[in-house]
Structure 1
Amino acid sequence: MKPRDENKINEIYKATLTLVKESGLAGFTMQSVAKEAGIATGTLYIYFKNKEALINSLFVECIKSSASTFFMNYNPAQPFKIGFHTIWSNIVHRRISHFNESIFIEQCFHSPFIEEEDKMTLRKMFEPLLQLIERGKKEHLIKDMDTFWLLSFMIGTINEIAKRVIYYNKKVTPEVLENNFQLCWDGIKA
C-alpha cells in the first residue's frame, strides 16, 4: 500500500478551506475539492471516505494548529492581565493570518458534521484559557459571570477585528491592536 502523501493532504485541506470560505460547508462537494486541489476525485477518496470524514479531519487539524498558536509565550504564573493579553493577541494574529481556517472552524461549530469526540478534544485543548478566565473571576479582576459569555464576548471582538482586516482592508498597527485589546478588557474587567 502506498504511504499517505502529507503534501497531498495539505493541498486537499487548503482546497477545502478555500471552498468553504466561498460557498460554505454545505456548498462544496468532494468533486469540487478534488478539482481545486488539482487531483483526481478517486484519489481524494483514497484519503477521505466522504465529505464528513474530510470535514472532521480538517477540523481537528485546524483546532490543534490553532491551539498551539493561541498559547505561545503564555505562562500561567504571569499576572492575569498579562496572560489574557498574550492569549488575546495570539488569537487575533492567528485569526487574521489564517482567516480561511477561522471561517471553517466557525462554520463547523454550527454544523452537524463535527463528532462529539472531536468537540471533547477541542474543549481539552482550550483548558488553559478556561482556567485563566476562572482565575480572573476568583481574583475579582473580571466580571463574575458565566465563562461561556465572557469567552463569547472575547472571541466575538476578535472575530470582528479579523473580518474588518480581511473584508475591509483595514490596517492593523500595534496601536490599533492595543486600543482594541483595551476595549475588550474594559468590557470584561470587574
Structure 2
Amino acid sequence: MIREKAIEIIVKHGFDGLSMHKLAKSAGVSVATIYIYFKDREDLIQQLYTEETRKMADATLRNFDPEARFDEGLKVQWLNRMNYCLENPYSMTFMEQLKHSPLVSRATMDTRFLNAMSRFVHKAIEQKEIVSLPVEIYWSIAFAPLYQLVKFHISKTSMPGRPPFVFDEAKINQTLELVIKALKP
C-alpha cells in the first residue's frame, strides 16, 4: 500500500507533493512504519523506481527472443510494453517522471534486460535489418511513438479538435510498420 500510494502521489502531485506524513496518511499507516522499510524519501523514490523498472523489464521480456528477426522482436516488445503501460498507467507515468531525474540512479538497471536489448539490436545491425545509430536515436525512433500513442490512449485525448485516440490493432500495426521502415538501411 505504501508503494502504491507513493507512486500515486508522485504522479498526481509531483515530487514536491510527496512527504512522508502525506504518504502515511494516504496509506493508512504511521510515519514510523514507512521508516521501517525506507531510510528516507530519496530511498523510497529510488526503491520504487528500481522496482517499477524491473517490473517493466520483466513484462517487456515476456516471450521475447533477442535472436528473433528485428520486425518480429520489435513487435513482441511493443505489445508487451503497451500492455504493461495500459495495465499500469500510474507506473508508466511515474517512470516517465523519473527517467531523467537526478533523484534516481539508473545504475540499478536490470542487466538481463540490457543484455537482451543489446544483443537484439546488435544482431539486427549485423544482419543489416536496421541501420547503426546512437542508442538515444534508436530508442527515440523505436519506442517514443509507442509511448506517445499509449499516453493519448490512456488520457483519452488526441490532438486539439480531434476525437479521443484509441490505440487499436490497426493503429499499432501501422505505426510499427512506419517505425521499422524508418530504421531500415
1:134 aligns with 2:126: no
- Percent sequence identity is 22
CA contact (8 A) 2:70 2:124 kept: yes
Letter in 1 for 2:54: K
Distance in 2, Cα, partners of 1:73 & 1:171: 25
State the shift of 1:87 in Å: 1.1
Q: 1:51-70, aligned counterparts within 5 Å?
A: 51-70=41-60
* Unmatched runs of 5 consecutive residues or more in structure 2: 158-163
* Equivalence for 1:90: 80
How well do the aligned residues superpose, as a CA RMSD in angstroms? Answer: 1.7
State the shift of 1:123 in Å: 5.5
Q: 2:96 aligns with which of 97, 100, 106?
A: 106
Other structure's SS at 1:73 match: coil
* Equivalence for 2:176: 181
Letter in 2 for 1:184: V
* Equivalence for 2:10: 20
Distance in 2, Cα, partners of 1:112 & 1:127: 24
* Equivalence for 2:109: 122
Distance in 2, Cα, partners of 1:127 & 1:184: 22
TM-score (norm 2): 0.87
Instruction: Give a deviation string over 1:128-176, Cα, whole Å, max 9, x none.
Output: 1122112111211112221221012223112201110111253232222
Equivalent pairs counted in the alignment come to 177
Letter in 1 for 2:42: E
CA contact (8 A) 2:65 2:73 kept: yes
1:74 aligns with 2:64: yes
Distance in 2, Cα, partners of 1:54 & 1:121: 14
Moved over 4 A (4+): none
* Equivalence for 1:7: none
Distance in 2, Cα, partners of 1:32 & 1:62: 21
State the shift of 1:68 in Å: 0.7
State the shift of 1:127 in Å: 2.1
Instruction: Give a deviation string over 1:63-100, Cα, whole Å, max 9, x none.
Output: 11111110111123322221121112211221222121
In the superposition, relative to structure 1, how do residues 97 and 170 fare at CA in structure 2: closer, same or farther (>3 Å)? farther
CA contact (8 A) 1:133 1:147 kept: no
CA contact (8 A) 2:54 2:110 kept: no
TM-score (norm 1): 0.85
State the shift of 1:57 in Å: 0.9
